[in-house]
Amino acid sequence: MPINPFTQLVFDLFIISAIIITAYTCNFYYLAFLSRKRKDVLSPTDWGTPSITIQLPIYNEKYVAKRLVDSVCHLDYPQDKMRIMVLDDSDDDTVELLANVVDDYKKQGFHIEHVRRGTRKGYKAGALKHAMQSTDTELVAIFDADFIPPAWFLKRAIPHFSKPNIGLVQCRWGHVNENYSAITQAQALSLDFHFLIEQKAKSNSHLFMNFNGTAGIWKRDCIEDAGGWHTATLVEDLDLSYRAQMKGWKCVFLPDIVVDAELPVQMNAAKRQQFRWAKGSIQCAIKLLTDIALKRKVAIEAKIQAFIQLTRHIVYPLMLIQFLALPILLAGQVNLYVISFLPALTIATYLAMGPGAYIMIIQSMYHKSWKSKAKILPALLVYNAGMSVNNTVAVFDAVLGKKNEFLRTPKYGVLKTKDDWKDNAYNLPFSQVTLLEIFFGVYGILGIFVSIFSNNPIFVPIIGLQAVGFFYIAYMSLSHTRFKRNKSSNPRVKTRKEKMANKVYKLSMIGIVAIILFGGFMAIYGYNTDIYPLDRIRGHLDGIVGSSDPAVIRSHLLNVQTDLNLVMGKVPETLNANGEVISKNPVWIFATESTNLLRIQNDVNTMIASIDKISTVPKDSSAYHTGMLDLNSRALILKTNIMDATPYMYVSVANIMFGTIWIAAILGIFAALKKKKEQLKLADETGV
């Protein structure tokens, strides 16, 4: 059956997205193969005790800053060979806290400095660049504020600079609060995939791997040879490590040296981190890919893998394209099964390409403990699906060249499940992206109904998984929102403005929930009254094509007539000069006669008259057979016409107006919350 141009365009986008996503997925499985087959041939050597500078970039981290400095000062390494630089760009209580801690360790004989450059220019990359001006040691180690390096770290990591071309040693991240919540468990599993599959495969081959920004050691000569720290992207670590490898330096990953770190426990903080990584990767792709492609000394496979790593976040907008396209294609009766006569094979293919393959990878990563990790996989799938909106916005920000401040991921010193962080400073309110997540969640509910009523229930789990992800991320973003003045020294003392802001937030939450419920109800009601009658009409037309009984055909035609009357009351009219209705068409811009419901209604009336005449003719006569063939061909044409009209019922004038009002109401709530946020920010700046 021919597909109308709009549906064909949607189908093409769906297939192209599916092909690209599949390619990136298969590449991950290829790296999983490399991580198992290629063994690390490098062995540590006795490199003595070279001089090393440990740089600690910090910005407003009063809950974890002291813990970091304490752990670094407890490293088992000669004090005369170790210099510690606390790169403090903070503008809150962290400054005084670090000044006291640094002063205490100075008195104990440590070579430690509290570096205050008086500006945040360049953010973390700017702080590291500033520190390199006075760094003269052979090695440079970097730790973010939420990391806790073990005492043996330097003695075990430094010997891996076994060859002169090794410029970076990257260690694996541990997760000190992995079991705090489902959010932290999902993040931990995702990071383990990155380190134990991607980093391991690239380290033990000629492929480019990246510095992860912390828990690593650089040769100072490597940093300088690669051009130093650049501030043009949000991921200065990825940028520098690629430039170093283009210069011929080798980066090594050490999976057996684990440095514990604190995972974000607040959803809005996790989203901020994911946003920064996604946008920064695309920024690096724009900045570096041309140079990598033209570099003769870089192997073809390394160039391909560099392209894939730097652009892999485009998978998220492609996921959204598929999510938006799937209900439209199902409503248009487009066959999307892998094998048309085996629908179950479609879901089996999805399971094999996704969860099935990931479980096999988990087995190879964790060995005896793989079952406990496999239980986290559903949470990771929901988490990743829900994050696709947040990361899609990040991708478009990078492509459009939008400038963003480097926003660090706040941490609260949360280690145990009973630790509470919600009354602490640095809590982040939800952003406008949450509105989009709610929209996609509601759209997913509509998509589930479309798949059911179009007789394609096999796609319900696929749509449902993503819809659950959107709602989960949006719900956690809302429920984790707190308004705090970040510079308040006492987190338990709430100002009048904070109390008012939280009151506004609670009322807004009630309003948002009410709007979502009302929107969901209206979406279901609208589908039932606008779209489902057209689905029923197609079913009755199929019944006409498949029947040779005049009474059955007449019954189908009467039902078609009834459903057409239901739909036509919601479709705009076109009048002639005499005020007569000449068209009722859901296609209100560039309408064609094929989707004119008034013409379709007249055709149905003609078919009813025809079947009444055919009923009086003997069944073995040529007139009977000719009449039935004519009815069948008319039914097939009408079915095509109804399929062409169906997608436009979703974008009717009434639906657009309701959607606009619905979005405007949520935007109004966001505006009220933003106003309160700005008031608190002003209070921080003025001290009032």
Determine the Cα–Cα distance for residues 6 and 533; give it in Å rounded to an integer.
21
Burial of residue 22 (CB within 10 Å: 0-12, 13-18, 19+) is exposed
Picking from 112, 422, 113, 124, the residue whose alpha carbon sits closest to that of residue 267 is 422
Whether residue 146 has pLDDT greater than 80: yes
Query: Tell me, what amino acid is at 196?
Result: L
Determine the Cα–Cα distance for residues 249 and 471; give it in Å rounded to an integer.
45
DSSP at 170: E
Distance between start and end Cα atoms, the chain = 69
Segment among 90-94, 492-496, 614-618 with least mean pLDDT: 492-496
CB 102 within 8 A of CB 114: yes
Structure tokens at 349: 């293919």
Q: How many CA atoms lie within 13 A of 320 on its CB side?
A: 20
- Cβ atoms within 10 Å, residue 227: 13
Determine the Cα–Cα distance for residues 219 and 247; give it in Å rounded to an integer.
14
Residue with tokens 């509290």: 114
Whether 89 sits among the annotated catalytic residues: the reply is: yes
The model's pLDDT over 54-73, given as tens digits with 9 standing for 90+, comes to 999 999 999 999 999 999 99
Highest mean predicted confidence (pLDDT) among 232-236, 241-245, 562-566, 643-647? 241-245
DSSP per residue, 529-592: IIIHHHHHHHHHHHHHHT---HHHHHHHHHHHHHHHHHHHTTS-EEE-TTS-EEEE-S--SS--
Calculate the CA 639 to chain-centre distance: 38
DSSP at 303: H
| pLDDT confidence of residue 112 | 96
Whether residue 671 has pLDDT greater than 80: no
Q: Is 665 helix (H, G, I), strand (E, B) or coil?
A: helix
The model's pLDDT over 383-403, given as tens digits with 9 standing for 90+, comes to 999 999 999 999 999 999 887
H or E segment at 84? strand 82-88
CB 337 within 8 A of CB 345: yes
Query: Tell me, what amino acid is at 506?
Result: K
Give percent of the chain with pLDDT exceeding 90. 55
Strands 82-88 and 250-261: unpaired
Sequence-distant (≥ 6) Cβ neighbours of residue 657 within 8 angstroms: none
Segment among 92-101, 211-220, 647-656 with least mean pLDDT: 647-656
Strands 250-261 and 581-584: unpaired
Q: Which of 88, 92, 144, 237 is catalytic?
A: 237
Residue with tokens 């079952």: 371
- Interhelix angle for 550-568 vs 622-650, to 10°? 20
Segment among 105-119, 207-221, 565-579 with least mean pLDDT: 565-579
Structure tokens at 517: 């419920």
Strand partners, 218: 140, 168
Give the chain's length: 688
- Between the alpha carbon of residue 247 and those of residues 42, 134, 166, 206, 236, the distances in Å are 20, 24, 12, 13, 17
Whether residue 133 has pLDDT greater than 80: yes
Q: Can you count the helices (H) and strands (E) in the chain?
A: 24, 10
CB 544 within 8 A of CB 642: no
Q: Which of 88, 89, 192, 239 is catalytic?
A: 89
Average pLDDT over residues 618-622: 89
The model's pLDDT over 405-422, given as tens digits with 9 standing for 90+, comes to 777 888 888 887 777 787
DSSP at 618: -
Q: pTM for this one?
A: 0.79
Segment among 29-38, 84-93, 334-343 with least mean pLDDT: 334-343
The model's pLDDT over 564-617, given as tens digits with 9 standing for 90+, comes to 988 888 888 888 777 778 888 888 777 888 889 999 999 999 999 999 999 999
| pLDDT confidence of residue 513 | 75
Determine the Cα–Cα distance for residues 205 and 549; give it in Å rounded to an integer.
71
Determine the Cα–Cα distance for residues 631 and 501; give it in Å rounded to an integer.
67
The model's pLDDT over 450-471, given as tens digits with 9 standing for 90+, comes to 888 778 888 898 899 999 999 9
Whether residue 492 has pLDDT greater than 60: no
Determine the Cα–Cα distance for residues 648 and 180; give it in Å rounded to an integer.
47
Whether 91 sits among the annotated catalytic residues: the reply is: no
CB 451 within 8 A of CB 459: yes
Whether residue 489 has pLDDT greater than 50: no
Averaged pLDDT of the chain: 87
Q: Is 410 helix (H, G, I), strand (E, B) or coil?
A: coil
Tell me, letter by letter, the H, E, C secondary structure of 338-381: CCCCCCHHHHHHHHHHHHHHHHHHHHHHHHHHHHHHHCCHHHHH
pLDDT band at 210 (very low <50, low <70, confident <90, very high): very high
H or E segment at 483? none
